[in-house]
Amino acid sequence: MDALKLIAQDSIKQDAPKFEVGDTVRVHVRITEGNKTRIQAYEGTVIAKKHGGISETFTVRRVAHGCGVERVFPLHAPSVEKVEVVRMSKVRRAKLYYLRDRVGKAAKVKSKFN
């Protein structure tokens, strides 16, 4: 078991961004199409963070053309170039799955003021 932890420590990104559930983030993902690669930005609200260590993932939700779209990103994957925090928010839940049932202004989260 210790050998697996040592291997995992080498793969963890040291400059992993600090964000919380409820924050609005912009995730830059490397997309491979044929033999070309490009960077695609995906912006939305973080509704969940799971696990820890090398297998840590986070779920980002946004509404595109009236349809809710969620993507799960592994935090330490090499395909995730960077994660920018666009807006910080204040929430009182660890998971924001209730946002799936809400539409329009009801689906907003409170902004955190400095």
CB 62 within 8 A of CB 73: no
The DSSP result for 44-78, as a single string, is: EEEEEEE--GGG-EEEEEEEETTEEEEEEEETT-T
pLDDT of residue 88: 95
pLDDT in tens, 52-99: 888 899 999 999 998 999 999 999 999 999 999 999 999 999 999 999
The alpha-carbon radius of gyration of the chain (Å, integer) is 16
CATH of the domain at 27: 2.30.30.790
Total domains present in the chain: 1
Look at residue 114 and tell me if it is in a domain: no
Look at residue 112 and tell me if it is in a domain: no
Look at residue 63 and tell me if it is in a domain: yes
Look at residue 93 and tell me if it is in a domain: yes
Residue 33 CB partners (closer than 8 Å, separation 6+): none
Look at residue 110 and tell me if it is in a domain: no
Look at residue 97 and tell me if it is in a domain: yes
| Structural domain boundaries, residue 96 | 2-105
pTM of the predicted model as reported, rounded to 2 decimal places: 0.88
pLDDT of residue 16: 81
Look at residue 31 and tell me if it is in a domain: yes
C-alpha to C-alpha distances, 13 to 25, 30, 82, nearest whole angstrom: 18, 16, 11
Cα gap 44→10, rounded to integer Å? 29
Look at residue 14 and tell me if it is in a domain: yes
